[in-house]
Structure 1
Amino acid sequence: MTTIPAYDPTLFEGAAWYYARYRPQYPPVLFDLLTEKFQLDGQGRLLDLGCGAGLIAIPLRDKFKEVIGLDPDADMLLEAQRQAAEVGATNISWVKDRAENISLAVGKFQLVTIGRAFHWMQRELVIEHIYNLLSHNGGLAIIKTYEDPWNSEHPWKQTAISVVQRWLGEKRRTGQGGQGEWQPLAVPHEEIIEKSSFNRQANYEVKYEKSWTIDSYIGYLYSTAFCLPSFFGNAENRKKFEADLRESLLQIEPSGRFTEELPITVIAAWKN
């Protein structure tokens, strides 16, 4: 029997509002790719695991008859409901749970998507669940994005991380109320799928241009597990951090505007 580690409710504590507004939105070219590769036609069902604030489930809703977004964070789901209501999305159900706990009782799906979340999951177990939940010709799309500044070659992102480290310490924080430390994955997602029951796999890449202001980048940082607003202790410290970041970034680019080309990798797999 597989033991599932307890969920850490502090992982994105206080981040949901920022996540919904400042995480880069997935571009239309990504959804066009998913529509083509998985032959989406407005029928069938979508399961979006680790759905967060609905950044995949909501834009893809018109490609399915029914959508389920699942996430263990209640605040994220509340933001997802708000965003869905704003665009009149009525065919999405939001479920508070972990991907590791999902059962066959939810029925079959044409497509299962996972955005910026698979690295937080017990991957082998989740892949097994997904395989069993897919219809005969169903598919899986794991979507990897590369906006993370920790390993970026952009001088302005390196500067941003140096400011974060100045305020929060050298280590990259994650979970446990800010006391946890980030551990890179030892095995890539692709290898997990290769060892699973899926018998066909392919990778696709799309690119898009993302523009930032200093304010939007501050919002992005507050949406991450390594720079949660609560890590700064109080509002006064946050103001000082923001002023420090603003001054440091303006030294790199006086306009305060930054543009980058970001890739997205889709790890696709089909049941048959």
Structure 2
Amino acid sequence: MVQALKTLPNYDPTLFEGAAEGYAQYRTKYPPALFDKLTEIFKLNGQGRLLDLGCGPGLIAIPLRTQFAEVIAIDPSSEMLQEAQRQAAAVGANNITWLEQGAELIDSSLGEFKLVTIGRAFHWMERELVLEKIYELLADDGGIALINTNENPWSSNLTWKQAAIGVVKKWLGEERRTGQRGQGVRKPVDPPHEVVIANSAFARQEVFEVPFQKTWTVSSYLGYLYTTAFALKIFFGDNSPAFEADLQAALLEVEPSGEFSEEITANILVAWKN
């Protein structure tokens, strides 16, 4: 009898269509302190191997590569991987292998890993299956780190972020879009990652927090919005100039300086094999 999985998203190749270059440029970079924390937690020393799933344009794999002998970075988007390879070449990162596939397809042919990282992508995956497969690939002293930056403008109490989402809603409607070239609607992540991990073979889990400061401009926040699954540039079509003008007016009304600061907390949800 085949077990029915609780979370079974089908990968949508349009999810970040056209966003790879902007993603690398405008998405919030993880701070060095976050990688220092991972180094401390897992006693990383330049040995062993890292598996980075849903790697996007390499925001984890590239900066964390120096703590490993070898990195395997996997993403289902060829566009993201092409951008990742450009970013890696720019800094001489030559110990990373980039693979185009879904996280659900990993298997023992990849070998053993000290650490598996997933940044802002676990909710897109078939979580129970991916955890099972990760568990089998980990060294006895290894673990998984789910990394997220809590900067979601849809739930922010910052006035300028609320203004930005107000403009998005004006042009795209009240519901938060996701995938299907803007026709999909986002559903909440249920159950939470912690519950899925608690029901898995992993021995224990803990959350670590790394706070840091981030400053945006009108143009960089526009660039960020255009990389999100809810406001890709392709959603606006010929209306993108009008949307951009509206966004600029709304943001400058809140903060005439054109600089927007926020305190971001990066969360690292760590689960150990043993």
Name the TM-score class by shorter chain.
over 0.9
The structural deviation recorded for 1:145 is 1.3
State the Cα distance separating 1:176 from its structure 2 match.
1.2
Deviations 1:65-101 (A, max 9, x none): 0001100011111110000000000000110000011
Q: CA RMSD in A?
A: 1.0
> Per-residue displacement from partner, 1:135-164 (whole Å, max 9, x unpaired)?
111111001211110000000000000000
> Which position in structure 1 is the counterpart of 2:230?
226
Q: Distance in 2 between matches of 1:179 and 1:265?
A: 30
Distance apart, 1:103 and its partner CA: 1.1
- 3-state SS, counterpart of residue 154 of structure 2: coil
In the alignment, what sits opposite 2:155? 151
- Structure 1 distance, partners of 2:75, 2:20, is 12
Encode CA deviations 1:207-259: one digit per residue, 9 max, x unaligned.
0000000000000000100000100123xx21111111001110000001001
Aligned residue for 2:242? Answer: 240
In structure 2, how many angstroms separate the alpha carbons of the residues matched to 1:164 and 1:5? 25
- By how many angstroms is 1:5 displaced? 4.8
Number of equivalent positions:
270
Aligned-partner Cα distance in 2 for 1:5–1:169: 24
Aligned partner letter, 2:69? K
Given residue 202 of structure 2, which amino acid in structure 1 is its aligned partner? Answer: F
Moved over 6 A (4+): none
After superposition, the C-alpha distances for 1:20-60 in whole angstroms (9 at most, x for unaligned) are 00000000110000000011000000000000010000000
TM-score (norm 2): 0.97
Match of 1:9 in 2: 13
* 1:264 alignment partner in structure 2: 266
Match of 1:217 among 215, 221, 229: 221
SS at match of 1:60: helix
Aligned ranges 1:103-182 → 2 under 5 Å: 103-182=107-186
Q: Distance in 1 between matches of 2:18 and 2:177?
A: 15
Q: Note the alpha carbon deviations across 1:170-229, whole angstroms, 9 max, x for none.
A: 111001121100001121111111111111211111100000000000000001000001
1:39 aligns with 2:43: yes
Supply the distance in 2 between the matched residues of 1:5 and 1:122 (Cα, whole angstroms): 6
Note if contact 2:11-2:124 (Cα within 8 Å) is conserved in structure 1. no
Q: Aligned partners of 2:130 and 2:271: how far apart in 1?
A: 14
Structure 1: give runs of 5+ residues left out of the alignment. none
2:251 is matched with 249
Report the alpha carbon displacement of residue 6 of structure 1 after superposing the two structures with TM.
3.4
Query: Cα–Cα, structure 1 residues 5 and 149, in superposed 2: closer, same or farther, change >3 Å?
Result: closer
Cα distance between partner residues in 2 of 1:107 and 1:156:
46
Q: Distance in 1 between matches of 2:227 and 2:215?
A: 17
Instruction: Say if 2:9 and 2:124, in contact at 8 Å, map to a contact too.
Output: no
SS at 1:208 equivalent = strand
TM-score by length of 1: 0.97
- Counterpart residue type for residue 177 of structure 2: R
Other-structure match for 1:204:
208
Mark the runs of 5 or more structure 2 residues left unpaired by the alignment.
none
